[in-house]
Chain A
Amino acid sequence: MSDTTTDDSPQTGPVLAADGTPLHRSLARALRRQKLRALMLIAPLLIFIIVTFILPVADMLYRSVENGIVSETLPRTVVALADWDASGDTPPDEAVFAALAADIQIAAEEKTHTKLGSRLNYENPGMSSLFRKSGRQVKRWDLETDGPFMEKFLDIDEDWGDIDVWRTIQTYSPATTSGYYLAAVDMQLGADGPEMRPENERIYLKLFGRTLMMSLAITLSCIALGYPVAWLLANLPMRTSNLLMILVLLPFWTSLLVRTSAWKILLQQQGVINDILVWIGLVSDDARLVMINNQLGTIIAMTHILLPFMILPMYSVMQSINPSYLRAAKSLGATDWTAFWRVYFPQTVPGIGAGSILVFILAIGYYITPALVGGTTGTFISNRIAFHISTSLNWGLAAALGGILLAVVLVFYWAYDKFVGIDNVKLG
């Protein structure tokens, strides 16, 4: 704060407050106090959001590039390996192997060598058992007298003479890596920089595309099914609409797993719907419809599960629309359709927008329902994220996939803001 900037009347001297301090200073103090009070009021919420949301997301994003484990577990080897020429076809020299022996001996004491093995195994299959096997042997070596170590390592496993093993260690020795993000878009760090993975191992780009397309399809079918229901809710007499509201909310309160399993029983080939179709003769017994364990199953089940998130914001927006607008349009000569399309519909767009954002963002991160009813063609990227978190333990890759998903959602949000306007969203 400077004393002179607001002093616009130099002839009469600074304006003073009642206690004799310059007015702008005492005003600033009062404002600051006010801001501080406001900050303290929101502080609990702010701290809560930082601790439970911002920090975990930041930690996850950090994990997707973090790669300290190689240089921490093999500090000497990483230094010794720095000068090795990875483009040649000779393995590194004895100095590197001696450094490796020293590193693995310490790592095996601390039981970190297998951890490193699992990490490098993501990049080069076989490293896991290589480190496990080597740790057991190297533990018993005497570093002073047992050299030279190159041959001893080759005795444990000839893979230590494999250029690719050393190339992997060298490539992944920096403390940060782009490897996880590359893997998340079906690429890998090859000898000459990033390259596509072999055709038969590409999966993530396809899954990202599928997740987006299916989330869009689910959002659209929620709009199609939810709009009339929301209209009924907003326009029926109170009694009936309350009853209808309960019918909308009941499934909303039912467990997700129960609803998903119910769809399984309804949609499967020996299920209720197929049985009825066969019984009334619409479908022959040996040509029962396949409605589950594919994309259709996922779209049906998830549309049902997410429908309330679409209906509720639409309903509350429609409720606030004055019915006299429609009457006015008609009295001015509009047909039913024109009155709806030109007068009523534009006023419901904020509700559709809010519902669509809710449904789309929820859909894009769903994984239980697609896992249960999606079969092979109806699973989402989130199923792979869950797999890497809980089964393969490749948290770096899971974080990278999650990071990309987050970016995609933000891009969609930005595009929505640009074309529809985020101020144009109303939850009620």
Chain B
Amino acid sequence: MKLTTLAAALSATALTLPAVAEDMTIVSWGGAYQSSQQKAYTEPYAEMKPDFNAIWDESSGEAVAKLRAMDEAGNVTWDLVDVEGPDAVRLCDEGLAIEVDVDEVLAPGDDGSSPTDDFGPSLISECFIPQIVFSTTFGYRTDVEAWGDKKPEDLCAVFDLETFPGKRALQKSPKKNLEWALLCDGVEKDALYDVLDEDGGVERALAKLDTIKDEVVWWSAGAETPQLLADGEVVIGSTYNGRLFSVIEEQDQPVAMLWDYQVFDFDGWVIPAGLTEEREAAVKEFVKYATDTQRLADQAKYISYGPARASSQPLVGKHAELGIEMAPHMPTNPENAQRFLVNNLDWWADNQDDAEAKFQAWLAQ
């Protein structure tokens, strides 16, 4: 008798155990960005739902390759993955992420707009749940003697070695650089991808880059440009706007932003394919909370990336520690976004390999 009660009690605990501790493995980028997500999303969520337990994995940089490996091994251990837009497109193409009907899964905006309208242009793939808008843009040193009184005012200052001599830092990748080169080679913004599609389009962009090639330091990690700028190793360089924000505002270096033709990118969640129904439902519930209007606005308190929802914009407040107004530091701020670019992801999905081959061959010359 006693034994059966014990067995019943045991089996009852066994049944309820998985529901008690709701572990969720969330993959992100580490650093300041991940901690902004913890403060804005998971900490308040855990307060609301004491069972919820987020396990963080800082693997977003290799997320696509790792997800593919997990999928091949048939053992997907991640519940939610933070990736950049182009990676989301590829994960979707590869069938490694599930398609999400945003109107069904996500919360409507605080102003009553539907998620589709609220997220607008950031919905770049059926699998992508946007969080933030960030941009790749230029920062320059404000104390370069050789420049005299002149300050870079537009993108083409990067290509103007006469007025603005000195080393530049550019990303070791054709994306963005080709577009910038063509813009300064006289191509209209709307015609960029038509020109790139033509025979010799990529070569034309490379020829423009060739004019500054000797003065370029190529970076592959976003943290390199801030270091190069701070050390005076380069006088002007591209990187993610949040990195420049921390060099300028947090480390107080003599560096200023050049927002002209910043390239917008989106960063957001994808839900891996192959989760059990239970896990998928839990993830969707979390995502609905973590991408609502208030949460996205909250994140901007900790990092200078713009919320992907239009309805979050008016709610962006002050930096949690520095106490400065964050709106002017947002890439989406109208003052900063007078001229901007958005990568044509379809073109890049098709031509990435080709452009990359030409770019690398050009670099190796």
Contacts and interface: CB of A to CB of B under 8 A. Distances in A.
Q: Which of A122, A265, A270, A395 has the most CB of B within 10 A?
A: A270
A111 B126 CA distance: 12
Contacts of A377: 364
Contacts of A372: 220
B94 interface: yes
Nearest to B92: A114
Contacts of A395: 68
Contacts of A197: 357
A170 interface: no
Contacts of B220: 371-372
B232 interface: yes
Given A114-B94, A201-B358, A375 B218 contact: yes
A392 interface: yes
A125 interface: yes
A137 to B, nearest CB: 15
A389 B63 CA distance: 11
A271 to B, nearest CB: 8
Contacts of A177: none
A375 B217 contact: yes
B361 A203 contact: yes
A393 B64 contact: yes
B161 interface: no
Interface in A123-174: 125-129, 132
A303 B3 CA distance: 69
Contacts of B352: 392
B236 to A, nearest CB: 15
B217 A392 contact: no
A283 to B, nearest CB: 16
A106 B172 CA distance: 39
A29 interface: no
Nearest to B90: A393
Contacts of B212: none
Contacts of A254: none
A206 interface: yes
B136 to A, nearest CB: 16
A270 B353 contact: no
A208 B199 CA distance: 29
A203 B360 CA distance: 7
Given A201-B361, A270-B231, A390-B62, A293 B217 contact: yes
B78 to A, nearest CB: 16
A70 B363 CA distance: 33
Given A125-B353, A269-B233, A118 B90 contact: yes
A394 interface: yes
Contacts of B90: 118, 393
Interface string B59-101: 0011011001000000000000000000000101111000000
Nearest to B146: A286
A202 interface: yes
Nearest to B206: A200
A182 B354 CA distance: 16
Contact of A270 (B62, B232, B364): B232
Contacts of B362: 200
Contacts of A390: 61-62, 64-65
Contacts, number: 87
Interface in A285-324: 293
A303 to B, nearest CB: 22
A372 B223 CA distance: 12
Nearest to B273: A111
Contact of B353 (A110, A121, A206, A384): A121
B65 A393 contact: yes
A270 B350 contact: no
Interface in B316-362: 346, 349-354, 356-358, 360-362
Nearest to B362: A200
A6 interface: no
B167 to A, nearest CB: 8
A268 interface: yes
Contacts of A270: 231-233
Nearest to B62: A390
A125 B351 contact: yes
B22 interface: no
A376 interface: yes
A363 interface: no
Given A115-B93, A118-B90, A270-B231, A376 B349 contact: no
A15 B291 CA distance: 88
Contacts of A110: 95
Contacts of B364: 203, 206-207, 376-377
A197 B228 CA distance: 36
B361 A202 contact: yes
A241 interface: no
Contacts of A203: 357, 360-361, 364
B344 to A, nearest CB: 10
A112 interface: yes
A268 B353 contact: no
Contacts of A269: 167, 233
B358 A112 contact: no
A338 B364 CA distance: 45
Interface string A365-378: 00000011001110
A351 interface: no
Contact of B95 (A111, A129, A200): A111
A92 interface: no
Interface in B129-156: none
B93 A376 contact: no
B361 to A, nearest CB: 5
B71 to A, nearest CB: 11
B203 interface: yes
Contacts of B353: 121-122, 125, 392, 394
B127 to A, nearest CB: 10
A117 interface: yes
Nearest to B231: A270
A200 B65 contact: no
Given A125-B351, A376-B172, A384-B360, 13 more contacts: A114-B92, A114-B94, A115-B95, A125-B353, A128-B349, A200-B203, A206-B364, A372-B220, A390-B62, A391-B64, A392-B353, A392-B356, A393-B64
5 contacts: A112-B95, A121-B353, A129-B350, A203-B360, A269-B167
The 5 closest A-B pairs by CB, nearest first: A114-B93, A111-B95, A376-B363, A390-B65, A201-B357
